[in-house]
Amino acid sequence: MTQPAQVTKPLPEADDASKPFWDGAMEGRLVILRCADCKAWRMPWRHHCDQCLSDRSTWEQASGRGVVRTFGIMHQKYHPAFEVPYNVTIVELAEGPRITTNLVGVSNADIRVGMPVVVDWERHSDITLPKFRPA
């Protein structure tokens, strides 16, 4: 068996459509889409509002606060760059949309559904990722 080459975690790359989200992240601001007509917030990026099907939207700064909707502790090594175990967590933002993320600053054993959390930024060279920590 040869050693596999060093593999890094899949880091997202901004595309034109989602650039305001990633630019906001670089500045430490959680910026998400909001329907210009019915005012519903939405995640992730999509052209149409799923509530009213409007194609008019704006990027607005969200509070960065939310609660743990649910989570799991991954033990299966699906991807060589992920050290197991690690948590996979869905945070429900105060504005309503849910985001798939990881909790930081808390041991996996202490994570609870309903726990209040706040965004925390994981910085990489050309991209910053929204993670969450207990509020």
- Tokens linked to 83: 């050290």
Dist. CA 20–CA 2, nearest whole Å:
42
| Site residues, other proteins (CB under 8 A) | 8-15, 17-18, 21, 40-45, 50-51, 69-76, 78-79, 82, 85-86, 88-90, 92, 96-102, 112-114, 129-130
- Residue 56 or 79: the one with the smaller Cβ distance to other proteins is 79
Least CB distance to other proteins at residue 56 (A): 18
Q: Give Cα separations from 18 to 14, 38, 79 (angstroms).
A: 6, 21, 25
Report the sign of the C-alpha dihedral through residues 97, 104, 85, 124, in that order. Answer: positive
Dihedral of the alpha carbons of 34, 68, 11, 121, in degrees to the nearest 10: 80
Residue closer to other proteins by CB (options 75, 110) is 75
- DSSP state, residue 66: E
Q: How far is the CB of 106 from other proteins (least distance, A)?
A: 15
Min separation Cβ 7 and other proteins, Å: 8
Judged by beta carbon, residue 3 or residue 8, the one nearer other proteins is 8
Q: In this complex, which beta carbon is closest to other proteins, that of residue 51 or of residue 58?
A: 51
